[in-house]
């Protein structure tokens, strides 16, 4: 499972704020085959150097991929050299401020529904089970607990007693409409993250304030 991601998505979306880059990206989105710098420049009636610079910027931000390939018979300087061909990456790019993890929630819920149907078990039981499995998978990261929570959009803050308060909910819109279900999923998820990572905390359910998480992490007695 992909870990919480934020910074790269924001940079990628920011790159498309430039009208020229957005125009080039949209052209490549509509093409069925990878395109060369010359092809893009000709199609959009733009200088080749300008197109080349913008294509490299889009590739650097992870929005484009490229390959080298010869394009048939050519003549003149550079004859026979492979051309650099650009195409869109297949992975979707998402970004939101503040950070949200609706894709993670959808992934967990879809797995739970499929397994509940296949195994003829209550969906809530499977939702808790899949949430724990997802938390265990997330905890295999080499990142610290604080890094995982920050990257996941929980905005952790530690008080004087050492408890970690999660001051934002990455599933905010879902929890506003389906609080019991989403909070159960989130508590199982974070509980498994803490247990699997061997962090010196225990997951404690709390009644969330508006926008805050339904979990607080208290230090264990042996901390």
Q: Which residue has the higher pLDDT, 165 or 103?
A: 165
* Res 143: pLDDT: 86
Question: What integer pLDDT is reported at residue 1 of this predicted model?
Answer: 46
Confidence of residue 16 (pLDDT cuts 50, 70, 90): confident
Which pairs with CB-CB distance under 8 Å and at least 24 residues apart come from 104-112? 104/4, 104/134, 104/170, 105/171, 105/174, 105/182, 105/185, 107/1, 107/134, 108/134, 108/185, 108/189, 109/185
Q: What is the mean pLDDT of residues 160-164?
A: 93
pLDDT of residue 40: 95
Instruction: Supply the pTM of this predicted model.
Output: 0.61
Contact 211, 166 (CB under 8 A): no
- Torsions phi, psi for 78 (to 5 deg): 80, 10
Determine the Cα–Cα distance for residues 157 and 160; give it in Å rounded to an integer: 10
3-state secondary structure of 67: strand
pLDDT value at position 180? 93
**For residue 129, pLDDT beyond 70:** yes
Per-residue pLDDT at 149 exceeds 70:
yes
Query: DSSP characters for 140-187?
Result: TSSS-HHHHHHHTT--EEE-TTSPEEE---TTHHHHHHSHHHHHHHHH
pLDDT mean across residues, the chain: 85
Average pLDDT rounded to a whole number, residues 102-108:
90
Band (pLDDT 50/70/90 cuts) for residue 36 is: very high
Residue 195 neighbours by CB distance under 10 Å: 16
The pLDDT of residue 97 is: 47
């Amino acid at each position: 499972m992909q870990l919480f991601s934020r910074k790269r998505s924001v940079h990628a979306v920011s790159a498309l704020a430039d009208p020229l880059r957005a125009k080039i990206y949209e052209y490549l989105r509509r093409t069925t085959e990878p395109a060369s710098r010359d092809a893009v420049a000709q199609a959009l009636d733009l200088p080749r150097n300008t197109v080349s610079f913008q294509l490299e910027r889009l590739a650097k931000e992870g929005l484009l991929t490229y390959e080298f390939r010869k394009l048939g018979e050519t003549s003149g300087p550079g004859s026979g050299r492979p051309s650099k061909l650009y195409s869109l990456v297949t992975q979707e790019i998402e970004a939101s401020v503040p950070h949200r993890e609706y894709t993670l929630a959808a992934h967990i819920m879809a797995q739970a529904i499929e397994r509940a149907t296949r195994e003829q078990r209550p969906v809530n039981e499977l939702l808790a089970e899949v949430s724990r499995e997802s938390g265990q998978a997330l905890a295999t990261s080499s990142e610290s607990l604080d890094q995982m929570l920050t990257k996941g959009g929980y905005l952790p803050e530690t008080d004087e007693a050492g408890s970690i308060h999660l001051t934002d909910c990455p599933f905010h819109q879902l929890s506003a409409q389906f609080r019991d279900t989403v909070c159960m999923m989130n508590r199982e998820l974070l509980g498994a993250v803490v247990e699997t990572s061997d962090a010196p905390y225990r997951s404690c359910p709390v009644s969330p304030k508006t926008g805050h998480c339904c979990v607080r992490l208290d230090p264990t007695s042996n901390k």
